[in-house]
Chain A
Amino acid sequence: MLALEFPPINEILRWRDLFPTFNKVALISVAAALIAILIFLLAARQDGLKAPKGVRNLAETIVEFIEEQIIMPTMGRSGMGWTPFLLSLFVFIYLCNVPGIIPIIYMPATARIAIPLFLSLLVWVIFIGVGFKHQGISYLKNSLFPPGVPGPLYILVAPIEFISTFLVRPFSLTVRLFANMLAGHILLVTFALLTEELVQADSIVLKPVAILPFFMLMFITAFEVLVGFLQAYIFTILAAVYIGGAAHPEH
């Protein structure tokens, strides 16, 4: 029969060091940063007055996507200055997610918690900084004591607002990206293992059954293409919402 043994979690996530302190996940994230820099440097070298072609076309599509789909609905026209930050956030997260489905590499760099944690702490520091810069010390008052609540209820509301704004936001931002990519990675491993075990099974009856997990594997791979994009989009749009909310208090 089948000897299906799921490998321990460290075996599918921890990689041999290429050299001390530098492993495959670090390599993928460095490569993601370098590829993003290369794309935009090549695009910037073309003449902006002519019709865009090649890599500049790609770069302009991404910038327009950030401006039209992420900044305009959340921060409005005054948030256009945040385009460079949100653009690099989006492109970096997307290029870290995509290796999860590229054959041979098969490892999303965001499936280790370090990168999502660092990025969301960055967003956390930035939106708090923006809040203090635009509203001064009354940022704390505006965010802890939202207007339109009956007086005595502030005993309840202020702690809840404090926890949800300053503690839960970075945590949920981290866990959302990390757990989505980890779940996708584990699903891919599960169905790849199942396919391999069924193909190598002794009995002739079990071998054709391998087609079922194989189709599931292909379906999940296609699904992961969507998830990798969607998670980068959601992380960026939430960063935009948080920064926009800190810059302009509710009335």
Chain B
Amino acid sequence: MEAFALLAQVDPADAKATAAASSAGFAYGLAAIGPGIGIGYLVGKSVEAMARQPEAAGMVRTTMFLGIAFTEALALIGFVVFILIGL
């Protein structure tokens, strides 16, 4: 990083801020992939279950929200990391 800063004639502090900003972006982007797929799959399956058995809709919905809460936590930890290193 030092050599790169010298080469590009920029302040090391600036280079560090740039690296932090771009890695924060990457961190959040990567953290969002898995939960995105997971929640999509989970809600899709729940809708399928509710359409097949409308009388069980209430129970399916409760379980769905629980599942979403657990899956979403990973993306939110990524968001916290984004705040910690990016801002």
Contacts and interface: CB of A to CB of B under 8 A. Distances in A.
Interface stretch (B1-9, B12-20, B39-47, B65-73): B65-73
Interface in A138-185: 172, 175-176, 178-180, 182-183
A233 interface: yes
Contacts of A180: 76
Given A172-B73, A175-B73, A176-B73, A241 B79 contact: no
A230 B65 contact: yes
Interface in B70-84: 70, 72-73, 76-77, 79-80, 83
Contacts of B80: 175, 178-179
Interface string B36-70: 00000000000000000000001100100110111
A176 B79 contact: no
A182 B65 contact: no
B38 to A, nearest CB: 15
B10 interface: no
A179 B65 contact: no
A237 interface: yes
Given A9-B83, A9-B87, A73-B59, A234 B76 contact: no
Given A8-B87, A238-B69, A73 B77 contact: no
Interface of A: prevailing SS? helix
A175 B62 contact: no
Given A175-B76, A176-B76, A179-B76, A234 B83 contact: no
A23 interface: no
Given A8-B87, A9-B87, A73-B59, A237 B72 contact: no
B83 A182 contact: yes
A237 B65 contact: yes
Q: How large is the interface on B (under 10, 10 to 19, 20 to 34, 35 or more residues)?
A: 10 to 19
Contact of A73 (B62, B73, B76, B83): B62
Contacts of B83: 9, 182
A57 interface: no
A61 interface: no
Interface of B: prevailing SS? helix
Given A9-B87, A73-B59, A183-B79, A237 B66 contact: yes
Nearest to B68: A234
Interface string A174-200: 011011101100000000000000000
A241 B73 contact: no
Contacts of B79: 179, 182-183
A183 B28 CA distance: 12
Given A69-B62, A180-B76, 11 more contacts: A73-B62, A172-B73, A176-B72, A176-B73, A179-B80, A182-B79, A183-B79, A234-B69, A237-B62, A237-B65, A238-B69
Interface of B: 58-59, 62, 65-66, 68-70, 72-73, 76-77, 79-80, 83, 87
17 contacts: A73-B58, A172-B73, A175-B76, A175-B77, A176-B73, A179-B77, A179-B79, A182-B79, A182-B83, A230-B65, A233-B65, A234-B65, A234-B68, A234-B69, A237-B62, A238-B69, A241-B66
